[in-house]
Structure 1
Amino acid sequence: MGLFAQYFVVDSGVSNLSQIDFEAIPSDTGMVSELDTELSLGSLWADGPSDYFAARYTGQLNVEAGGTYTLYLTSDDGSALYIDGQRVINNDGLHSTRELAVTLNLAAGVHDIEVQYFDAAVHATLQLEWEGPDSNGIREVIGGDTFSHDNTGHGDHTDDSTGGDESGHGAGMQGLYGSYFVLGAGVSSLSEIDFDATPYGTGTASELNTYRSNGSLWDGGPSDNFAARYAGNLNVAQGGVYTLYLTSDDGSALYIDGQPVIDNDGLHGARELAVTLDLSEGAHAIEILYFEAQGRSTLQLEWEGPDSNGAREVISGDAFSHGEHTDDSTGGDDTGHGDHTDDSTGGDDTGQGDHTDDSTGGDDTGHGDHTDDSTGGDDSGHGAGMQGLYGSYFVLGAGVSSLSEIDFDATPYGTGTASQLNTFRSNSSLWDGGPSDNFAARYTGNLNVAQGGVYTFYLTSDDGSALYIDGQPVIDNDGLHWFEEQSVTLDLSEGAHEIEVLYFEQGGEATLQLEWEGPDSNGAREVISGDAFSHGEHTDDSTGGDDTGHGDHTDDSTGGDDTGQGDHTDDSTGGDDTGHGDHTDHSAGYIPPPTDASEVEAYVAAVKALPDAHAHGDDPSKAGEH
């Protein structure tokens, strides 16, 4: 009973079903009794992403009473319905919830059915209904005994499988079984990675022969901050002495018959380690662990011995095989990965090899060219009085939906200087080598006001953002949403004011703009830039204050979310949805910041009392960009 489901992680640029390889090895499989997902922000399968995924459902549609049926396929984004191998509904493309229908004359009996679907971003909807003799003339979701699937569940859609269980990984399949993982920034060794977690993707590798690549190991995966685990058998046709060579950038480890034989762990450039073993004829369990932090990725496994006729060559072909995979654990201890340290043949303490080749200075951060935008200053590249804001950049896991879920005090993936915040509907990264989706940024420094007076600030973002002035939250534009503007009007004194902007982008296009209107802009609305921004020394990412490095960001919260960002949209007098209004009648809408300690309590109480005129949830009608 039910349909056989195959789930896939797709690239952020997908806009139609034809761009998806539904014959690829799925990230996961399962069975569904019905298709009835409406406006969901979750995943279709356990531990799957909430955006940028696809699904293929196959099986049989069992018609008891032949006759005329109307089938309704509703989706956000694209979908298609096939009956008996013929496409009967094409609801493809990027769109919000949309229903298409077809009326068919279906004979009593079994009909092949297939539904293809993908979701780019925001809400996911997929519903399949019918109306006809088997529903007593009522429109209803198809379910129960109406759906069934055979042992494979997908007819001739199993061309890449040579047999075995429903997972498609039968005994004796050629190649190694690969499990792929997305990492957070800051990983520096294999021991920090849970290789027994549910993988982000899976596949089969006929050989391990990646050298200085800027791509991903799997379709839709990132080019940095990922890990892989390859498991299977090493099939030795002729017993004897073999030398195995494991080359990687960054860390890797090789296990034969459950024993660690090469430990090439840590952060380093392309580095080769070797071991010589006496291997008997037959199958030997093999496992390779690998991770890549940033820069180019390398992973090569070679051997030299009887089966290679004494030549050194990449292991491939029948030398690798794998059997059934009902989960990703191969047993052993809780980690399943030995101690990872027994066989290391050396290397420097940092092991960072060519990751620092592009650096023109000698700071201790090891961040290489991540400081190229620095124009001088101390060893960290951030001298006192430097123009612009100091940017710290972070890579996120899938599923982040608010700023409160992000540790902005973690070690950043990259740093740099931003002369202005003026990114609009970009498909690129905010920093060199960074991803185009699932990232965050923190900008800190000073806002230098030449002429004191009343200023209106406009913060526009896709997705969430927040603005802090002198340690106080003044705009909260958090959450998952299309580009959305919020504003606040403040009375700012002449001089330097501390400023901080937090931002994250999940999927789709990225927008982050910070503008102002006031005396220093001659009354015009414009992007803040030039001498208006500066930052001092940065020996770490903390700007002082409490342990979080974000000042009192939680002091002003009266409940609700954990960001403590309260309501910051009090200055709007109405107007259109963009929040542009006329932005002039703010006499009761701004609160001068405290000028000394005695005024802080009153200022906090006033901020808490402000109404929230603009905040709104995610609007499905804004999903067009995605």
Structure 2
Amino acid sequence: MAPNLPPPSSFTIRMYQAETEELTYTPDLAFLNFVQDGKTAFIDFHDLEDFRSAVPNTPSYNYVWAIYGNLDVQKAGTYTFCTISDDGSLMYVDGRLVVNNDGLHGAQESCGGISLSAGTHAMFLPGFQHYGAAYMSAHYYGPDTGRVKRYLRSDSSKAPDPPKPSAWTLRMFKGSGIQNMAQANWRFLTFVGEKTVRDVYVPNNQEFVRLMPGMPDNNFVWVYYGTVAISAPGVYSFCSTSDDGSYLFVDDSLLVDNDGLHGGERRCGSVRMAPGNHAVRIEGFNHYGGAYQDLDYAGPDTRDQYRHMVSLPTAAPPLPPPSQWLMRMYRTNYEPFELVPDVSHMTYVGEAVISYIAFSTLQELRNWIPGTPEAKYAWQVYGKVRIMIPGTYSFCSQSDDGSLVYFGSTLVVNNDGLHGADKRCGSISLSAGDHDVVVVGFQNYGGVYQVFSYSGPDTRGVERWTPSVSAAGPPDKGGKAGQFGNWPPS
């Protein structure tokens, strides 16, 4: 009796398209957009039309194929597998990388060997085409072929379920004069937009602008939020390649400091990780010129090969609310008017909600509070300063004439007296949370000035105008006697 004939060869081919406009390697399918699937008897595609004969909706460029098959091995031994591809391709047998023919290139062959037992072995052959000519073929030889090189066959087209898409949350911000990561602190910049993206890979400014319309071509900041699922415990290396600088955080701890004005530099850091989900965040900036950001990692889950990171869907934290302070204005005819006054002894003029305590002319004050007089007036400003990272903070008041800064009932900055735009600072240790702040200042005669700024862990040491998350003041607009300032003001 003649032996049973093997079943007809059949592979499953799935086609994907990449979001990036410059595909240069075979990416994880979780980073891609599924297009269509089909069947093919053998892997022998010589051009785009060949691909479209199996998958009619194959894109014209920047696409990735994923071919699945199952090889029934009759005779155990060493088998050699080869791919010829344009551009890159890979081949896995039972999850093990056997052929690495990846990268941008013309039709070239690469082979690899593996020892296989008798039985069924799963095959996976991904590859990509960036632009231009396309080619993909696969061959093998070993004991079952009599050591003769033949087209790779598949005894079953059974394929695993498609992977769930990777999902990073990308936020973009813009500013001016950004030259380091301290100045790139997104909490103090202008929010441009938010988008879910598959991968942390942006090769140039144009790709950032494509991802986020409205972005400027310089002085912008990106923040990626993701979650990596770790299966095997051990030491993992995370790398950020960026132009200009970047920070990489794992579980909110800074792991990679790639700060500075530079081209596409790569820096890495290692951390021991337990199984489970771990938060990953990348912040970076571009000052002028080219922009670039790439993330890869290696460890037990990747067999210590550096790969781009698939992220579980991750929500970004709430954006900070717009800064708002409540300013109240008071006037008096008292002489001499030489110190920051207790406003309960003065006449209330009006109030306004302002973004920051920063002004340098009487006209600015009158734009907010029209009844502000020419001379002998005082402002009392209420707000809440939100602290994210506990620690010691420096608060500064630059004013003409004098000013005082209180946290609750504690005087932190004393810049009292008749003087020009003098600046004085004070430090205070603050816990995370919202802190009540009152700034009181006055002007006797002449020019007026007030800027309230701070620095500390939340600002990465950079002095910035102090934001407030609330513009609520006490209901009594007349002020409370003896609470703040001096009376008589001399």
Q: Which interval holds the TM-score relative to the shorter structure?
A: 0.3 to 0.5
Instruction: Pick the structure with greater CA Rg.
Output: 2
The structure in which a higher percent of residues are strand is 2
Normalising by structure 2, we get a TM-score of: 0.32
Normalising by structure 1, we get a TM-score of: 0.26
